[in-house]
């Protein structure tokens, strides 16, 4: 089989992941998109399949990390060469930036149609529902710990191959990407309501850089004051997962167990300090705004409350006919009291 550089594979796999993942957010959030107004599950499973297909594209050549946290966690666990870690991380960041560029190009007319700058930033990078550095960092640490720990457990359980007269099927290449994808989707659904879940420093930092560089109409701030959370917290959670998996699966206590736990504690302490001394957005939540469409116009008309005088037509339900008028019960027509 023809092989490519593992760094190129990581670049392409991460690019595919970001195109599909950030594209699913754009489909739901950007105004006048065909999928506008859909729900959080669409985004969660969009990211799940984004991860799966990114891993499918790169797994045979690089292992399909697509995430600096996974690369670091595997190195801490002892399953990946430390010398390759920097190159993998650079390739993943570059792939995420390239993927964000394609998402911007794909939705060119929709950036101007969308007024809310928070929604535009949310397509590229994470925006917390409630801006609290400590709890946002804690959520990302929990999520990435679960991601890397589960990925390692999937790795040690998927090992067999099916061999036949005409086919050899490697279940690692077939089932692992799906397992990873569903793992991400379930984590986003179950735990991602607070931060939207980066779980991946490259996935947040790369598109955030592109948000700052690209000429996006009315894009607003890239919120660099928040970006340390989706970078540092996932690194803390993922590296700690690799060290704890050594203890859980092999019964070995390594220095990394204490180093990574200390780093996670340091991140949380900094988050607590940041709540007291750093800028916090008044409202970081993305709140969809109704479009000016026929449906919203009809809804507004149905709930309209008049503020001025209402012209009343004689004989209408608001002003009955004169008392001297009589109605023919057979024809329904009124006539004067004088004959």
Q: What are phi and psi of 120, to 5 degrees?
A: -65, -45
- Give the start-end residues of each E strand in the chain: 161-163, 168-170, 326-327, 334-335
pLDDT digits (tens, 9 = 90+) for 222-270: 999 999 999 999 999 999 999 999 998 888 899 999 999 999 999 999 9
Chain center to CA of 212: 18
pLDDT digits (tens, 9 = 90+) for 137-153: 999 999 999 999 988 88
Residue 320, in any domain of the structure: no
Q: How far is 118 from 123, CA to CA, in rounded Å? A: 9
pLDDT digits (tens, 9 = 90+) for 109-119: 999 999 999 99
Q: How far is 183 from 71, CA to CA, in rounded Å? A: 17
Give 180 or 175, the one with higher predicted confidence.
180
Angle at 96 between CA 50 and CA 61, to 5 degrees: 70
How far apart, in Å, are the Cα atoms of 173 and each of 3, 65, 87, 216, 312? 15, 13, 23, 38, 75
Residue 322, in any domain of the structure: no
Residue 60, in any domain of the structure: yes
Q: What are phi and psi of 168, to 5 degrees?
A: -120, 115
Q: Which domain holds residue 209?
A: 6-277
Please tell me the least confidently modeled range out of 64-78, 120-134, 160-174, 297-311. 297-311
Q: How far is 284 from 271, CA to CA, in rounded Å? A: 17
Residue 317, in any domain of the structure: no
pLDDT above 90: residue 52: yes
Domain CATH code at residue 160: 1.20.1080.10
Number of domains in the chain: 1
Residue 52, in any domain of the structure: yes
Sign of CA dihedral 179, 185, 189, 192: positive
Please tell me the least confidently modeled range out of 109-123, 142-156, 204-218, 279-293. 279-293
For residue 154, the model assigns a pLDDT of 77
pLDDT above 70: residue 84: yes
Residue 271, in any domain of the structure: yes
Q: How far is 128 from 122, CA to CA, in rounded Å? A: 9
**In which element (H, E) is residue 112 found?**
helix 108-113
| Residue 319: burial class (beta carbons within 10 Å; 0-12, 13-18, 19+) | exposed
Token pair, residue 29, equals 């959030």
Rounded (10°) CA dihedral 206, 203, 31, 42: 170
Q: How far is 219 from 107, CA to CA, in rounded Å? A: 14
Sign of CA dihedral 67, 73, 77, 81: positive
SS3 39: coil
Residue 215, in any domain of the structure: yes
Contact yes or no for 100/16 (Cβ under 8 A): no
Q: How far is 291 from 295, CA to CA, in rounded Å? A: 9
Q: How confident is the model at residue 163 (pLDDT cuts 50, 70, 90)?
A: low
Percent of the chain with pLDDT over 70: 77
Residue 146, in any domain of the structure: yes
């Amino acid at each position: 089989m023809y092989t490519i550089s593992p760094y190129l594979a990581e670049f392409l796999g991460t690019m595919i992941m970001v195109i599909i993942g950030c594209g699913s957010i754009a489909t739901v959030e950007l105004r006048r998109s065909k999928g506008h107004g859909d729900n959080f599950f669409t985004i969660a499973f969009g990211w799940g399949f984004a991860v799966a297909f990114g891993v499918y594209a790169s797994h045979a050549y690089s292992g399909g990390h697509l995430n600096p946290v996974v690369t670091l966690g595997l190195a801490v666990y002892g399953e990946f060469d430390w010398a390759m870690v920097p190159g993998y991380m650079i390739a993943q960041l570059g792939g995420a930036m390239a993927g964000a560029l394609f998402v911007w190009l794909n939705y060119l007319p929709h950036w101007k149609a969308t007024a809310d700058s928070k929604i535009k930033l949310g397509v590229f990078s994470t925006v917390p529902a409630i801006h609290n550095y400590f709890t946002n960092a804690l959520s990302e640490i929990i999520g990435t710990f679960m991601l890397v720990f589960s990925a390692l457990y999937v790795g040690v359980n998927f090992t067999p191959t099916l061999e036949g007269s005409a086919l050899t099927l490697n279940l690692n290449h077939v089932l692992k990407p799906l397992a990873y994808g569903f793992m991400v989707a379930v984590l986003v659904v179950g735990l991602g309501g607070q931060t939207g879940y980066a779980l991946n420093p490259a996935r947040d930092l790369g598109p955030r850089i592109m948000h700052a560089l690209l000429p996006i109409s009315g894009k607003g701030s890239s919120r660099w004051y928040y970006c340390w959370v989706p970078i540092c917290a996932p690194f803390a959670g993922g590296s700690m997962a690799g060290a704890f998996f050594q203890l859980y699966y092999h019964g070995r206590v390594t220095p990394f167990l204490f180093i990574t736990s200390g780093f996670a504690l340091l991140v949380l302490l900094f988050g607590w300090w940041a709540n007291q001394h750093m800028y916090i957005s008044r409202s970081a939540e993305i709140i969809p705004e109704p479009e000016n469409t026929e449906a919203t116009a009809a809804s507004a008309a149905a709930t309209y409350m008049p503020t001025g005088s209402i012209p009343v037509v004689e004989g209408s339900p608001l002003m009955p006919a004169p008392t001297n008028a009589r109605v023919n019960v057979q024809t329904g027509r009124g006539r004067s009291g004088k004959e």
